[in-house]
């Protein structure tokens, strides 16, 4: 046994993780963490109040196991809400399953559906965990990039300008294609796939009898009046799609780790098998409170005081402010249609970032580390996740509430950290 | 089976003594800390993936004291979604196709499917009852050392140990652990030690960590659970503790499966641990007071089971008790299915007596079902249920033995 490694072979090639690396680095340098995807503003008051109320009551069963596949009040309201959004009657017991964050939902999907020899199409740029999860399940990731179209003269690029080439996409489907992973709104670009783009993907899924794993965690963070179209609602797609959502992103409570899958029983039954053999139950209290949050939102759906209306409105302002700040320091931001991420072109800064001779570390990774050491942490995911297409010059930055202006909670605004990056001698911030 | 019986027992008219679910309240400071945490904004967002810093720090302090060795909070600990999540991370990290894993019967039911899912082969060895008399204790159930030795070979990657043991309640002695340790060292085998009931040990018994035996720290992953420690099964927080060269692989699994556990629960748990860490020399420490509270419930349940003609096996630890039901000779010909006796008995009991427990053959491999099918498992970390039973036993006994039995359980 001494000659063989102690760990299982399924861990080969999945041991590196960019968040573990960067979060450690950010902590070391006490930087403002603009990279990792979580809000720095509080959850909405109604949710905090619900949490406090739940805990102050005498319901100590809130501290014991609940139904393994999802706390009944939560799966019921999810079935109601998503039934309405998808235009079909959903059974809370068989069409909905609660997971430990959307992350675990993704894990269950890959483990349940992907086998050795299967191919899974991943659209670049992608949330970094898709690739190692496919590999850990023994599958082969097949990448296809979103490609930028040049914007009109003088205008800033939008995430809508990044598109799949239909012929190229069609060529990626083969008889070994088990599934395609769709992430809309897309992290990190912020792209919100249009109905036509989704129909393109749907047609190929139907043609090749492929599944669609649809990561829609940012479904409520959509700007400029754009519509988030759910691929599961397209013709022929309900029966082959698992839609994934997240309370963390929906209600700005990433630390609660409550996610869910919605789909047909024939697919969810396998997710349940996977779930009962991996974590079995999810924590009860958070599910109870999220259920109450959803109940409130269901009653206010579409109304101006709905959190799902207010949050994107507020974030859109932050987005616009951040875009201005980045332009002011000479970066070229790509205006996101959704999510709270923004990608900016940093090629202008090459001269400022110290060159490291004999290093094969990509430019954007070095840039990001330079930013971290100099007080701002931004994610250098872009090179790593943009597989196969050499685009080293972009940097993903997170839009945060602290990017100027007042927050709804009345917090004192932080100085805009991005303005630090104006060339030396032109620093506009007291940072 | 678990999903099957949980569904039936979700019926509120049925007294559920099956699932391992406390209905006693967690200590008030545990609930208070969670309420305090809820008010802190940043604790609603992601924390460190491998475990919230204040929690891993608290765990390292508590377990350093218990184990008598330095434990690095960042490299030697992984926080997981319950003890269940630790089992999963450990097995996925260290077990694969071609491996054999020794599982002691009866076993917590998830061990077998998790080992199989990792592509490995489970190899079973039963605990055997060396005393079939009326004063049965969990200590009477032992492994045959010769039989155990034969189960080890060059393919044996790990043995799963569960002490205190679910469902029997056995607390393995130092000598018994040494037998296992010697074989692990001889065959260079890992030990996955499920110690979620580590604090629930009754008078006269001591929980011993196999990782503290010579030669064992470097090959053992020890699993613990907040749910069992603080009676908060619904928090689903557990942990794996071991040497860095093993824990690092569990961390890789974790970062590719759920990445991080909920923050507010981890912070509240950390605070609760600090409270009890500071009083580990005091008998009021919850780690000791809970087992005192449960010991009287254990004794009460044993008494009730005897009164109705069952033969309980008194557990030295944990909050489960098994009882031999074959003595009742209930007519189960109506109960459908080609199932073991105990499955049929429990189904009959749920339907006609509104009482649920778990059949023991659910906890063993295919070869030993015959050995275990006369036992069912009861959970006694219950407040209200025992009072209900208590009321029932005040009713006058009828002439028919069957009637007596029914009356006690209503």
Q: Which residue of B has its CA nearest to A112?
A: B117
Facing A7 at nearest CB: one of B94, B113, B257: B94
Rg (CA), chain B: 21
Its pTM stands at 0.88
User: Model confidence at A386, in pLDDT bands (50, 70, 90)?
Assistant: very low
**Of all helices (H) and strands (E), which one includes residue A342?**
strand A341-345
Q: Note the ipTM here.
A: 0.88
pLDDT of B352: 77
Would the CB atoms of B45 and A253 count as touching at under 8 Å? Answer: yes
Max mean pLDDT among A131-140, A388-397, B37-46 falls in: A131-140
Q: Do A6 and B249 touch (CB under 8 A)?
A: yes
**Nearest-5° angle of CA B39, CA B44, CA B49?**
140
Cβ A254–B46 below 8 Å, yes or no? Answer: yes
pLDDT above 50: residue A418: no
User: What is the C-alpha to C-alpha distance for residues B189 and B123, in angstroms, rounded to an integer?
Assistant: 14
Say which range, A288-292, A414-418, B16-20, has the weakest mean pLDDT: A414-418
Contacts of B155 in chain A (CB under 8 A): none
Q: State the virtual CA torsion across A277, A279, A285, A288 in degrees, nearest 10.
A: -50
Whether the pLDDT of residue A410 is over 60: the answer is no
Location of structure tokens 């940012």: A218
The minimal CB distance from B44 to the residues A65, A255, A279 is found for A255
Is the minimum CB–CB distance between A285 and chain B shorter than 8 Å?
yes
CB A22 within 8 A of CB A379: yes
The label of the residue with tokens 């409130």 reads A296
Lowest mean pLDDT among A112-126, A253-267, B320-334, B390-404: B390-404
Q: Which helix (H) or strand (E) holds B158?
A: strand B156-162
The average pLDDT across A20-41 equals 63
For the stretch A59-79, pLDDT in tens is 778 999 999 999 999 999 999
Asked whether the beta carbons of residue B41 and residue A43 sit closer than 8 angstroms, the reply is yes
Q: Would you say B50 and B81 are in contact if contact means Cβ atoms under 8 Å apart?
A: no
pLDDT of residue A24: 67
Which chain A residues are Cβ-neighbours of B256 within 8 angstroms?
Answer: 14, 17, 107, 129, 132-133, 136
Residue A131: pLDDT band by 50, 70, 90 thresholds? very high
Strands A96-99 vs A259-262: parallel, antiparallel or unpaired: antiparallel
Tens of pLDDT along chain B (410 residues) come to 566 666 665 677 777 777 777 878 899 999 999 999 988 988 999 999 999 999 999 999 999 999 999 999 999 999 999 999 999 999 999 999 999 999 999 999 999 999 999 999 999 999 998 876 656 899 999 999 999 999 999 999 999 999 999 999 999 999 999 999 999 999 999 999 999 999 999 999 999 999 999 999 999 999 999 999 999 999 999 999 999 999 999 999 999 999 999 999 999 999 999 999 999 999 999 999 999 999 998 998 898 888 878 889 999 999 999 998 887 887 888 777 788 888 888 888 887 777 788 888 889 988 888 888 889 898 888 765 555 554 333 322 322 223 222 222 21
Share of chain A above pLDDT 90, in %: 60
Average pLDDT of span A297-313: 95
Q: What pLDDT sits at residue A377?
A: 41
What band does A352 get if pLDDT is binned at 50, 70 and 90?
A: low
CA distances from A196 to A99, A152, A200, A331 (A): 31, 22, 6, 31
pLDDT at B292: 93
Q: Cβ–Cβ of B96/A8 closer than 8 Å?
A: yes
Residue B105's pLDDT is 96
Q: In this structure, what are the phi and psi dihedrals at residue A375, rounded to the nearest 5 degrees?
A: 95, -15
Q: What is the pLDDT of residue A371?
A: 59
User: Between B34, B154, B249, which is nearest A11 by CB?
Assistant: B249
Alpha helix segments (H runs only) across B230-354:
244-255, 263-277, 286-307, 341-353
Alpha carbon B253 to chain centroid distance?
23
The two tokens of residue B383 are 């407040």
Pairwise CA distance, residues A205 & A237, whole Å: 8
- A196 CB burial (10 A radius; 0-12, 13-18, 19+): exposed
**How many Å separate Cα A175 from the centre of its chain?**
29
pLDDT for res B135 = 63
Q: Residue B66 corresponds to which tokens in the numbers above? A: 């218990």
Q: Touching check for A252 and chain B: CB below 8 Å?
A: yes
How many CA atoms lie within 13 Å of B149's alpha carbon, on the beta-carbon side? 7
In this structure, what DSSP letter does residue B326 have? G
What is the SS3 assignment for A110-157? HHHHCCCCCEEEEEECCCCCHHHHHHHCCCEEEEEECEECCCCCCCCC
CB contact under 8 A, B41 and A286: no
- For residue A409, pLDDT over 50 is answered with no
* Closest chain B CA to residue A15: B252
The pLDDT value recorded for residue A175 is: 96
Cα gap B262→B37, rounded to integer Å: 12
HSE, side-chain direction, 13 A CA sphere, residue B296: 5
For residue range A151-195, what is the model confidence (pLDDT) as tens digits? 777 788 999 999 999 999 999 999 999 999 999 999 989 999 999
CB–CB contact B260 A257 (8 Å): yes
Strands B375-379 and B358-359: antiparallel
Is B234 within 8 Å of A103 when comparing Cβ atoms? no
- In sign, the C-alpha dihedral spanning A4, A6, A12, A16 is negative
Query: Does residue A419 carry a pLDDT above 50?
Result: no
CB B128 within 8 A of CB B146: no
DSSP bridge partners of A214: A182, A243
């Amino acid at each position: 046994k001494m000659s063989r490694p102690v760990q299982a072979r399924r861990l080969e090639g999945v041991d590196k993780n960019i968040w573990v690396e960067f979060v450690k680095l950010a902590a070391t340098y006490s930087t403002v963490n603009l990279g990792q995807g979580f809000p720095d503003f509080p959850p909405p008051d109604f949710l905090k109040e619900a949490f406090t109320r739940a805990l102050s009551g005498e319901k100590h069963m809130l501290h014991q196991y609940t139904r393994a596949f999802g706390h009944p009040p939560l799966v019921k309201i999810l079935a109601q809400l998503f039934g309405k959004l998808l235009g079909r009657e959903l059974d809370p017991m068989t069409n909905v399953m609660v997971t430990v964050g959307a992350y675990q939902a993704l894990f269950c999907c890959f483990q349940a559906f992907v086998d050795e020899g299967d191919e899974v199409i991943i659209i670049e740029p992608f949330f970094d965990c898709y690739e190692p999860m496919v590999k850990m399940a023994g599958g082969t990731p097949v990448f296809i990039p979103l490609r930028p179209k040049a914007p009109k003269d003088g205008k800033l690029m939008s995430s809508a300008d990044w598109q799949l080439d239909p012929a190229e996409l069609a060529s990626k489907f083969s008889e070994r294609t088990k599934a395609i992973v769709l992430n809309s709104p897309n992290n990190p670009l912020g792209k919100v796939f249009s109905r036509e783009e989704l129909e393109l993907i749907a047609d190929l899924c139907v043609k090749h009898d492929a599944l669609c794993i649809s990561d829609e965690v940012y479904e409520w963070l959509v700007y400029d009046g754009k519509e988030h179209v759910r691929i599961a609602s397209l013709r022929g797609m309900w029966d082959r799609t698992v839609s994934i959502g997240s309370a963390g992103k929906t209600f700005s409570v990433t630390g609660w780790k409550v996610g869910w899958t919605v789909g047909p029983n024939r697919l969810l039954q396998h997710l349940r098998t996977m779930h009962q053999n991996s974590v079995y139950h999810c924590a009860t209290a958070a599910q109870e409170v999220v259920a109450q949050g959803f109940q409130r939102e269901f009653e206010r759906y579409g109304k101006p005081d709905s959190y799902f209306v207010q949050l994107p409105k507020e974030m859109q302002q932050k987005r616009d402010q951040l875009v201005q700040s980045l332009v002011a320091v000479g970066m070229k931001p790509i205006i996101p249609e959704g999510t709270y991420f923004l990608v900016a072109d940093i090629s202008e800064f090459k001269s400022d970032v110290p060159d490291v001779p004999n290093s094969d570390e990509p430019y954007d990774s070095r840039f990001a580390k330079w930013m971290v050491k100099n007080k701002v942490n931004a994610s250098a995911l872009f090179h790593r996740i943009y597989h196969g297409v050499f685009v080293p010059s972009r940097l993903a930055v997170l839009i945060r509430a602290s990017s100027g202006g007042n927050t709804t909670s009345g917090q004192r605004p932080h100085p805009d950290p991005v303005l630090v990056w104006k060339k030396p001698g032109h620093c506009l911030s007291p940072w | 089976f678990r999903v099957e019986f949980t569904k039936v027992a979700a019926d509120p008219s049925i007294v559920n003594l099956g699932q391992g679910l406390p209905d006693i309240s967690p200590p008030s400071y545990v609930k208070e800390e969670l309420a305090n945490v809820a008010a802190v904004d940043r604790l609603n967002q992601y924390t460190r993936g491998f475990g919230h810093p204040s929690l891993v720090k608290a765990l390292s302090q508590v377990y350093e004291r218990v184990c008598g060795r330095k434990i690095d909070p960042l490299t030697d600990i992984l926080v997981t979604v319950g003890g269940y999540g630790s089992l999963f991370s450990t097995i996925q990290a260290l077990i694969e196709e071609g491996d054999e894993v020794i599982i002691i019967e009866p076993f917590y039911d998830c061990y077998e499917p998790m080992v199989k899912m990792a592509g490995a082969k489970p190899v079973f060895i039963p605990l055997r009852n060396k005393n079939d008399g009326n004063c049965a204790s969990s200590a009477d159930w032992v492994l045959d050392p010769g039989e155990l030795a034969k189960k080890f070979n060059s393919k044996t990657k790990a043995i799963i140990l569960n002490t205190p043991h679910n469902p029997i309640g056995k607390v393995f002695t130092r000598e018994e652990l040494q037998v296992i340790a010697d074989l692990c060292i001889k065959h260079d085998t890992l030990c996955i030690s499920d110690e979620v009931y580590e604090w629930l040990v009754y008078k006269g018994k001591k929980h011993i960590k196999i990782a503290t035996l010579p030669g064992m720290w470097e090959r053992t992953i020890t699993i613990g659970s907040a749910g069992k420690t603080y009676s908060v099964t619904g928090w689903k927080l557990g942990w794996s503790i071991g040497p860095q060269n093993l824990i690092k692989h569990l961390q890789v699994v974790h970062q590719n499966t759920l990445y991080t556990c909920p923050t507010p629960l981890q912070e509240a748990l950390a605070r609760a641990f600090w409270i009890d860490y500071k009083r580990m020399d005091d008998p009021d420490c919850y780690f000791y007071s809970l087992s005192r509270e449960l010991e009287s419930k254990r004794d009460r349940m044993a008494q009730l089971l005897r009164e109705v003609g069952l033969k309980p096996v008194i557990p030295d630890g944990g909050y489960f008790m098994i009882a031999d039901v074959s003595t009742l000779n209930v007519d189960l010909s109506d109960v459908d299915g080609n199932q073991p006796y105990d499955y049929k008995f429990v189904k009959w009991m749920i339907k006609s007596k509104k009482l649920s427990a778990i059949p023991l053959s659910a906890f063993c491999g295919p070869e030993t079902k015959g050995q275990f099918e006369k036992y069912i498992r009861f959970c006694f970390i219950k407040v209200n249920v025992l009072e209900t039973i208590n009321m029932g036993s005040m009713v006058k006994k009828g002439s028919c033995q069957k009637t007596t039995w029914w009356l006690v359980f209503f």
